[in-house]
């Protein structure tokens, strides 16, 4: 569904065109300590039984249950065994070992009685309770997993529990899904660096940090660069990025302004335009295309709310689907109930900023937080989602349900 003729596409068409450009970047082997937030590309198996021995779960003594059942309540302490020690066996019925949590149980005993239920004096342990169970306080060898069992299966986000399991089974290197190499490119002569003091007609560049922060959640590596509104430099720098990166995320320079050189330069560099302009507000001038070397270019309009919306509505779903995150958050539609009547007459999809809360019936209710247009990025701090109001409608009534795109934790 190529739209090379410059006509505007609908939000649904734009989404479809982007999702036709999914990429598989393969996989790579990395140290497990660096794998947090990556997607596991192999099954992790137990290198031995878990636990690897009959593991004691309480500090106390180990006895043979049969001795207790035969009426013995007093046991001579044959040895003291700490966690990490090789097990020492008892030889006689009335012997016990003092043994600590985490230690390996000797074969000659089968039941642990905790210190709280004992009196130990002069090397003799006297059991002070009558009710014990055979085999108590022992975590049996192989009870959790057997050697070669899968302990973490491929295609899931690596979190702290998987890092912990990799450490436990000695899996120092993990095969993970490779991520695209991303260039984040800001454009515009009005932009200054964060550490500079802008004049009243300049702004500090923030879109590049917004994008970088969003990518960090997926552990995507990115480089940032800036391009002034100058066609030669724009051409030179974008050409370099197309050769060096898998994905270019630009902000600014794609509208109708005299100094918006990005679409023209992309065309000169043979990046095939797949659409330019989407029937949406904010973010209408969004440009998307692909180069024959595989590089994809998402060129967002520069207004911070436009960049933010396009990033969440289009780029994140593309990324999550490309790196095959299971049940990607962005692909599971979410809906909320509109709290007030809203009117929006332009024939385009309106992504209204809302604050979603849960009501007393357990429903998600969206309060409009319209702000002052796509330049009002301060408003993003007070809202937590965009509500997608369909282009075909102008009046949206309180109580109606629409799709939402949360960009923060809702509850």
Beta bridge partners of 169: none
Q: Give the residue at shortest CB distance from ligand AMP.
A: 302
Residues 6+ apart with CB under 8 A from 189: 228, 229, 259
Taking CB within 5 to 8 Å according to partner kind, which of ligand AMP, Mg ion, none is near residue 27? none
Instruction: Examine residue 252 and tell whether it contacts ligand AMP (CB under 6 A).
Output: yes
Cα–Cα distance measured from residue 391 to residue 347, given in angstroms and rounded to the nearest whole number: 5
CB 300 within 8 A of CB 310: yes
Cα 233 to Cα 259: distance, rounded to the nearest angstrom: 13
Report what 208 binds from Mg ion, ligand AMP, none; CB cut-off 5-8 Å by kind: ligand AMP
CA 16 to CA 274: how far, in whole Å?
Answer: 11
**Bridging pattern class, strands 280-281 and 334-338:** unpaired
| 301: contact with Mg ion by CB under 5 A | no
By CB under 6 A, is residue 47 in contact with ligand AMP? Answer: no
Q: Is 303 in the site for ligand AMP (CB under 6 A)?
A: yes
Q: Which does 303 bind (CB under 5 to 8 A by kind): Mg ion, ligand AMP, none?
A: ligand AMP
Binding partner of residue 104 among ligand AMP, Mg ion, none, CB cut-off 5 to 8 Å per kind: none
Using CB under 5 A, which residues numbered 89 to 108 contact Mg ion? none
* Helix (H/G/I), strand (E/B), else coil: 236: helix
Strand partners, 395: 343
**Residue 255 near which of Mg ion, ligand AMP, none (CB within 5-8 Å, type-dependent):** ligand AMP
Which CB, 180 or 253, lies closer to Mg ion? Answer: 253
Q: How many CB atoms lie within 10 A of CB 391?
A: 18
β-bridge mates for residue 389, sequence order: 350
Of 252, 283, 317, 406, the one binding Mg ion (CB under 5 A) is 252
How many residues sit close enough to ligand AMP to count as binding (CB under 6 A)?
A: 18
Element (H, E) at 364: strand 364-368
Q: Which does 206 bind (CB under 5 to 8 A by kind): Mg ion, ligand AMP, none?
A: ligand AMP
Specify the residue, 208 or 353, whose C-beta has the smaller distance to ligand AMP: 208
Residue 310, CA distances (Å) to 71, 207, 209, 271, 374 in order: 76, 12, 15, 20, 12
> Shortest gap between Cβ of 307 and ligand AMP (angstroms)?
7
Nearer to ligand AMP, 145 or 235 (CB): 235
Is residue 283 part of the contact set for ligand AMP (CB under 6 A)? no
**Smallest Cα–Cα separation from 37: which of 256, 325, 301, 283?**
325
* Cβ proximity of 280 and 214 under 8 Å: no
Please tell me the count of residues contacting Mg ion according to CB under 5 A. Answer: 4
Binding mask 199-238 for ligand AMP (x = CB under 6 A): ----x-xxxx------------------------------
Q: Please report how close the Cβ of residue 392 comes to ligand AMP at its closest, in angstroms.
A: 27
Is position 104 an interface residue for ligand AMP (rule: CB under 6 A)?
no
CA torsion through residues 270, 274, 277, 281, sign: negative
Instruction: Note whether 188 binds Mg ion by CB under 5 A.
Output: yes
**Sole window of 70-78, 135-143, 145-153, 295-303 interacting with ligand AMP (rule: CB under 6 A):** 295-303
| Phi and psi angles of residue 328, each rounded to the nearest 5 degrees, phi first | -55, 135
Which residues in 11-123 belong to E strands, given as ranges? 27-31, 44-45, 55-56, 60-63, 74-81, 95-99, 111-114, 118-121
251 touches ligand AMP by CB under 6 A:
yes
Inter-residue contact 317 to 385 (CB < 8 Å): no
Which CB sits closer to ligand AMP, 18 or 211? 211
Distance in Å, CB of 184 to Mg ion, minimum = 15
* 21 binds ligand AMP per the rule CB under 6 A: no
- Per-residue binding letters, 186-205, with ligand AMP (x by CB under 6 A): x-x-xx-----------x-x
Positive or negative, the CA dihedral 80, 82, 84, 89 is: positive
Query: Does 60 help bind Mg ion (rule: CB under 5 A)?
Result: no
- DSSP code for 315: I
Nearer to Mg ion, 253 or 317 (CB): 253
Provide the binding-site residues for Mg ion, judged by CB under 5 A.
Answer: 188, 252-253, 302
Provide the binding-site residues for ligand AMP, judged by CB under 6 A.
Answer: 186, 188, 190-191, 203, 205-208, 251-253, 255, 257, 301-304
């Amino acid at each position: 569904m190529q739209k090379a003729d410059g006509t505007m596409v609908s939000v649904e068409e734009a989404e479809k065109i982007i999702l036709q450009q999914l990429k598989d970047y393969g996989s790579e082997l990395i140290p497990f300590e660096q794998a947090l937030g990556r997607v596991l590309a192999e099954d992790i198996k137990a290198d031995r039984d878990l636990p690897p021995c009959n593991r004691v779960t309480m500090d106390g003594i180990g006895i043979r249950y049969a001795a207790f059942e035969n009426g013995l309540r007093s046991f001579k302490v044959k040895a003291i065994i700490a966690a990490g020690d090789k097990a020492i066996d008892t030889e006689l019925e009335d012997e016990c070992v003092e043994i600590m949590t985490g230690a390996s149980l000797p074969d000659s005993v089968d039941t642990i009685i905790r210190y709280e239920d004992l009196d130990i004096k002069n090397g003799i342990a006297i059991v002070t309770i009558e009710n014990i169970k055979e085999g108590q306080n022992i975590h049996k060898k192989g009870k959790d997993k057997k050697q070669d069992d899968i302990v973490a299966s491929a295609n899931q986000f690596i979190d702290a529990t998987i890092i912990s399991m990799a450490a436990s089974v000695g899996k120092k290197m993990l095969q993970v899904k490779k991520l695209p190499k991303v260039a984040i490119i800001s454009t515009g002569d009005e932009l200054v660096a964060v550490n500079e003091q802008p004049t009243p007609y300049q702004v500090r560049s923030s879109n590049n940090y917004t994008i970088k922060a969003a990518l960090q959640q997926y552990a995507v590596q990115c480089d940032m660069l800036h391009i002034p509104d100058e066609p030669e430099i724009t051409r030179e720098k974008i050409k370099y990025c197309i050769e060096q990166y898998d994905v270019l995320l630009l902000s600014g320079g794609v509208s109708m302004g005299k100094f918006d050189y990005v679409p023209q330069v992309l065309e000169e560099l043979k990046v095939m335009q797949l659409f330019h302009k989407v029937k949406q507000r904010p973010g209408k001038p969004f440009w998307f295309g692909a180069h024959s070397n595989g590089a994809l270019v998402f060129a967002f309009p520069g207004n911070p709310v436009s960049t933010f919306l396009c990033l969440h509505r289009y780029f994140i779903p593309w990324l999550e689907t490309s790196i095959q995150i299971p049940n990607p958050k962005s692909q599971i539609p979410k809906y909320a109930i509109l709290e007030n009547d809203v009117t929006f007459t332009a024939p385009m999809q309106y992504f209204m900023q809302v604050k979603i809360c849960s009501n007393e019936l357990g429903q998600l209710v969206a309060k409009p937080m319209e702000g002052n247009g796509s330049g009002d990025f301060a408003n993003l701090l007070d809202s937590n989602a965009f509500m997608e109001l369909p282009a075909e409608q102008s009046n949206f009534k309180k109580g109606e349900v629409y799709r939402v795109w949360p960009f923060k934790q809702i509850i």
